[in-house]
Structure 1
């Protein structure tokens, strides 16, 4: 069981709707204006975190809008007061020295509320069309391991020397150092063997994609059994999930069916997206096993039902070790409010 109280976060709508892209009740909108309003409201509603996924081009269709993660994170850091801001990063897009300095600055702007979500990329065109190249799966993780080693040391305020296959950093020091804590938290995503070992060695929080409770329990047990550097705190766990909470289980099921029906209209876009995916990405292998709506596992976690049903299922995930629930909704703003009012208080009571 997690020894920490449950926390609730939301996915920023960096590339529009999360479940069905052609929903008349939620027009496709990935604008800065919408995301700013959404995060400010999430903070007012009591949400603890926001995750800003990183894409430079829209993963569904390059003609669609796409929010830029790091400039948005800096702006949100200045506009908010309490909510944790987690910015995803794909190491090939930034040199670690440059990225560490950016992260350090956002940490200062936020007053110690910033975090990095390390992901090692699955969308080929984003890197290939830029001329960066898309390395093989395990090679991307080897690169990411060197990258985060450099970033970690710099964020700790250490005078950094690193000589590896990909980076040669000589006597680098970033100032001013972090006045709030040792360094920002590092969240790590991915479920392949290289990803698991990377989070055990370098991460603070493992982001698990939405999936059934038994599978999540097994993943947590496996990671807890791995050795970690002695100086590291125990690993913490987060779960991505799409929530449909209504007054009754039947009401929630009807909305799920409605979203499934809407999602069939996105079949051509999903096929295009699938063709861009690295087939070795475990995330998408897992997704193929369970019908779902939403990204990063979506409704596969089973958080569909009445307010009490969803709260009880989330309490079971919390007992399994999940501390942070990173949530998606559709219609997003409406259901984000509903969750804050009806479900979050129930989960807190059940896990008190």
Structure 2
């Protein structure tokens, strides 16, 4: 059985639970991101993910951390942890982004990866005057885009003629520290997303869902045509609520559910009205009420320390290797997870 990897979602929006409570005030600053990531690295986490928006999807008057400048700074501030920066291809030409990624790859000494996100938040594009194609075309664009990026990471002279991009006799130096190149993560609920992941990604990210649904997704994506030599790996998002007993964890889930509804309800029209109706992700979220984003507590990692540890191994058993986690309050619950759950997972995991 594979040993699970644990990562944290950097709170680029300010918080992953209720928006603004005294125990974890709203804070989307780089200083907070740096502090949390150094803490996560110290207690043994292996990865982090920075989502990407250019404005806050709850309200554009709220702060929003900029992903790529923060990723470069976090690469300098840390020593071991993998830094994954989300990228929406509509925001950067692939030749520019490929070079930027190589810069952060060098700063991090090979610890940098990207998360390819074709985008759902129409509002930020419209306000910026950036064209926002229909859902399936965005995935065709992303496919053309990632092929250019990966070609330029190869170090070879690239001549590429695609649907959206044409590259002539271009090569980059220095070549990547990460070998053979920076890792590519990709997520999405739609058929085009799954097909693109099978073809071009190294890791497919799954939004938090019950284990039966996650098993179906892994089976479906694993059966799709793939040109890459290495098999596709899988990660999952989850919001953790771990307590000494199942009863205490359930009570905390109920408390956070109430607070989240109270504090986010006024801003939901901004998200729903700004969402591309063709985005399958939101239809999935509607089926599984949850705390947090990207499925959050729908993954079921809520319970006693032993319960959460056992459920993590259940997901590992069906193929999930990386768990990208959210906590609330972040710093306190991050430490609790590291102290109480990770050791239990190790004790429960069969010795190979």
Give the TM-score normalised by structure 1: 0.97
Alignment match, 1:347: 345
2-structure distance, mates of 1:179, 1:296: 31
5+ unaligned residues in a row in structure 1: which ranges? none
Deviations 1:105-156 (A, max 9, x none): 1111101111000001111111111111211100100100000000011112
Task: Look up the SS of the partner of 2:59 in the other structure.
Answer: coil
Alignment match, 2:183: 185
Alignment match, 1:239: 236
Alignment match, 2:168: 170
2-structure distance, mates of 1:179, 1:78: 15
Alpha-carbon contact 2:105-2:177 (below 8 Å) kept = no
Q: CA deviation at 1:245?
A: 0.2
Deviations 1:64-111 (A, max 9, x none): 001011011111111111000000000000000000000011111101
Within the alignment, does 1:102 sit opposite 2:100 as a pair?
Answer: yes
Stretch of structure 1 that moved more, 37-46 or 257-266:
257-266
Deviations 1:299-331 (A, max 9, x none): 000011000001101100000100000000111
Task: Look up the SS of the partner of 1:223 in the other structure.
Answer: helix
Determine which of 204, 210, 222 is the counterpart of 2:208.
210
Alignment match, 1:57: 55
Alignment match, 1:327: 325
2-structure distance, mates of 1:228, 1:42: 34
Mapping of residues 1-352 of structure 1, within 5 Å: 4-229=2-227, 231-265=228-262, 266-352=264-350
1-structure distance, mates of 2:110, 2:226: 25
Q: CA deviation at 1:23?
A: 2.2
2-structure distance, mates of 1:183, 1:316: 31
2-structure distance, mates of 1:23, 1:259: 11
2-structure distance, mates of 1:152, 1:113: 16
Q: Measured at CA, do residues 20 and 169 of structure 1 come closer, stay the same or move farther in structure 2, by a change above 3 Å?
A: same
Alpha-carbon contact 1:6-1:351 (below 8 Å) kept = no
Q: CA deviation at 1:17?
A: 1.0
5+ unaligned residues in a row in structure 2: which ranges? none
Deviations 1:25-80 (A, max 9, x none): 21101111111101011100110000011111111110000101101111111111
Deviations 1:222-241 (A, max 9, x none): 11112211x42010000000
Task: Look up the SS of the partner of 1:288 in the other structure.
Answer: helix
2-structure distance, mates of 1:191, 1:159: 35
Runs of 4+ aligned structure 1 residues displaced above 2 Å come to 348-352
2-structure distance, mates of 1:130, 1:235: 35
Q: CA deviation at 1:290?
A: 1.2
The count of residues paired between Structure 1 and Structure 2 equals: 349
Alpha-carbon contact 2:67-2:85 (below 8 Å) kept = yes
Give the TM-score normalised by structure 2: 0.97
2-structure distance, mates of 1:294, 1:101: 33
Task: Look up the SS of the partner of 1:257 in the other structure.
Answer: helix
1-structure distance, mates of 2:177, 2:200: 22
Alpha-carbon contact 1:22-1:262 (below 8 Å) kept = no
2-structure distance, mates of 1:162, 1:342: 51
Task: Look up the SS of the partner of 1:256 in the other structure.
Answer: helix
Q: CA deviation at 1:4?
A: 3.1
Q: CA deviation at 1:22?
A: 2.9
2-structure distance, mates of 1:195, 1:217: 17
